[in-house]
Structure 1
Amino acid sequence: MKNNNDILKWFDNELSEQEFLELKQTENLEILEKIAHYAKHMQAPEVDAQAALTAFRNRKLRKKSPKVITFNFNTVLKIAAILVVMLTSSYFLFFNNDVNFETEIAQTETLTLPDGSEVILNAASKLHYSKKEWQSNRLLDLDGEAFFKVQKGEKFTVNTSAGTVQVLGTQFNVKKRTGYFEVQCYEGLVAVNYNSKIVKLSPGKSFRVVDNTIQLVDDFKAEIPSWLQEESSFDNVPLGEVLKELQRQYSIIVTLQNVDESVLFKGAFTHKNLEIALKSITIPLDLNYKIEGKHVVLSKK
């Protein structure tokens, strides 16, 4: 073919007889016939113009609706609970530096303080100190009885509702019960502050107050408190106090029948056997005892 116009004329059947003969003598005719054949079988997709226009307008005018966030009340409560737990945990982890220990009846517990000092809590006792302030002020609050082995260092203070005990490095026992306050020094030097009066104790010395009255106490030779060996010992202590200690060690209730609880007792009782403990108390005082389950009755013979 000479040019594109001849090709178009062939497709439109406008070639002259001479031009067709010339085309027939070339290879171009076969190619053009194939093109024409396939072109007849090609169809452009039918388009609904009106429908297409309507769809375009709707898409153009449609605005995105804002997302609406809905809250489930139970979910909100769960999230709030988790936040409360997290905040509470953070408080106890980073802000609350109070340390508390408490023993139950017939229970003892050994504790190690931040400076390496050791405390052994007797039954039904409470101990408290501030971990944050410990390095600058070794101060504890005690309600009950405890034996202390204090590492040397700055002043070490034990506060009770009856009085204050201060040491630098020593071993001592403090007992503060209702109507009873006693400090025993086993090593070093102990200073007891009671009603603004300071009493210094050397090893083997005791300071005791019963019902707000200071009592003179004989020297002792023990190396550790007897209760650390599962035995409670008393040196002229009112029977009422002895029986309170018995109840702490055995979880019992003791009732007196015509027995004076102010009578003084000197001796000891074991923490391992109630029958033996009762005999150790009643025989020296010439008393009878009767066990009824968790209830014990002491009476005169």
Structure 2
Amino acid sequence: MIRMEHNRRERRQGQAVVRGNLVPTSTHDQRLLARQGSSDWVHMDPWRVLRIQAEFVEGFGQLAELPQAVTVFGSARTRPGTPEYETGRALGRRLAESGYAVITGGGPGVMEAANRGARDVEGAVSVGLGIELPFEQRMNDYVDLGIEFRYFFVRKTMFVKYSCGFIALPGGFGTLDELFEALTLVQTHKVTSFPVVLMGSEFWGGLLDWIKGSLLSSGKIAPQDLDLISVTDDVDEAVRIIADADRARSKQREEEIEATAAQTAEPQ
């Protein structure tokens, strides 16, 4: 997060706050991924590994006891009072009413709307997983548990590990990045299958047409890969898709446990 306060630049860096001339001109991700320059990286990267490890430990520790949760993605540029903002708020509220914690990127726009909707429900849990950026954004005011990350890949791990489903509202490059990473992980069975829901058929329609007309028609994806995506304009349907998949997973786990127990009980 970087912002202006009393005409001074300010940025959150992990648990630290720096202001004025101490605000660096690059982010930790930029410095980690930079390859140009001297060979100092040979000596610096091993220490970066410890910082990365610390971020994983902090994230796992803070989120370990989170109830079943759903991650909501969407544009940080969506204005309060717009239809997309109100949809995000209604979605956050319905998820919370259904017993789910709501996770977002912690920023403004759709993320704020979903966190705000969750906060409308007494006893709900509203989570924001922020990221250090050179120009955006502070943690929104509707987050109960907020964690600031330096590294995108650590933050993405937390989204995947602690969510039982993803819902994407209209958004930009960041939303598309999270969307396609989630689809790739499910398609390649790197994670236990969970639903990916797109809200806004008009917004996402062109993308889906391209996926069918270019990727599917040229054999870049299989027909069943289209089943990984659900599209709806209805908040209740989006929550129902998540809940149905959640119940199916729970039933499958119970059957696997019973099967294992039966095998163990069989005489040798």
Q: What TM-score comes out, normalization by structure 2 length?
A: 0.20
TM-score, normalisation: structure 1: 0.19
Greater Rg by CA: 1
Kindly indicate which of the two structures has a greater share of residues assigned to strand.
1
